[in-house]
A = this chain, B = another copy of it.
Amino acid sequence: MATKWRCSHRSAVARLTLESPADVRLLDKGLSAGEALAAFNAMHDQAGGIASFLGKVRPGEDVKALELTHYEPLTLPGMEKLAGQALDRFALDGVLVWHRVGTMQPGEGIVLVAAAARHRRAAFDAVDYLMDHLKSAAWFWKRERRGDGANGAWHWIEPRGDDHAALARWQ
């Protein structure tokens, strides 16, 4: 059975105030999914359900770090517009859209999306929609550092064909 935290959730949650109905952030430091979801959950206590997706830096293939660059005048307005589109399209109580920028290590969170809704299907579809559009439409470029020390080098990650197929589902 679940063990208790030493500190209560209520006091911890109170430290993180979210915007409603859309909390959209670019983070240049650690993305704490548990903390964010606890606060999002507490905020949307009228919702029937909350769906979420956390995308992380995958280890393997000799990857030492991931660097994510963006174009500031477009990125945050683009994410805010996308969050608004999700709110218009699905019957939601609220959404959370957080994205990391900068240099990350394998295992760290890159993106966290959550949706609160009366019904599960709307919450699920909204998270799916946000992830599809964030990955293909937001202005982020990624490169990976592979290899050790002087043998290490940065490699750009190419656009993926199936992201475009995923987007076509929503037309």
A residues contacting B by CB (< 8 A) are 1-7, 9, 11-13, 15-16, 25, 27, 29-39, 41, 45-56, 58-60, 106-107, 109, 118, 120, 123-124, 127-128, 131
For the complex, would chain A's binding face be called helix, strand, loop or mixed by DSSP majority?
mixed
Contact in complex: A15, B5 (CB < 8 Å): yes
Query: Once bound together, how far apart are the Cα atoms of A78 and B62, in whole Å?
Result: 40
Query: Once bound together, how far apart are the Cα atoms of A59 and B51, in whole Å?
Result: 18
* CB-CB under 8 A for A25 and B50, given A37-B34, A38-B34, A118-B58: no
A78 to B: closest C-beta gap in Å: 19
A-B contact pairs, 22 of them (CB 8 A): A1-B25, A1-B27, A2-B32, A3-B16, A5-B32, A5-B35, A6-B12, A6-B15, A13-B34, A32-B38, A33-B37, A34-B34, A35-B38, A45-B106, A48-B56, A49-B53, A49-B55, A50-B56, A52-B53, A58-B118, A120-B131, A124-B127
Q: Which residues of B contact A32 (CB under 8 A)?
A: 2, 5, 9, 38
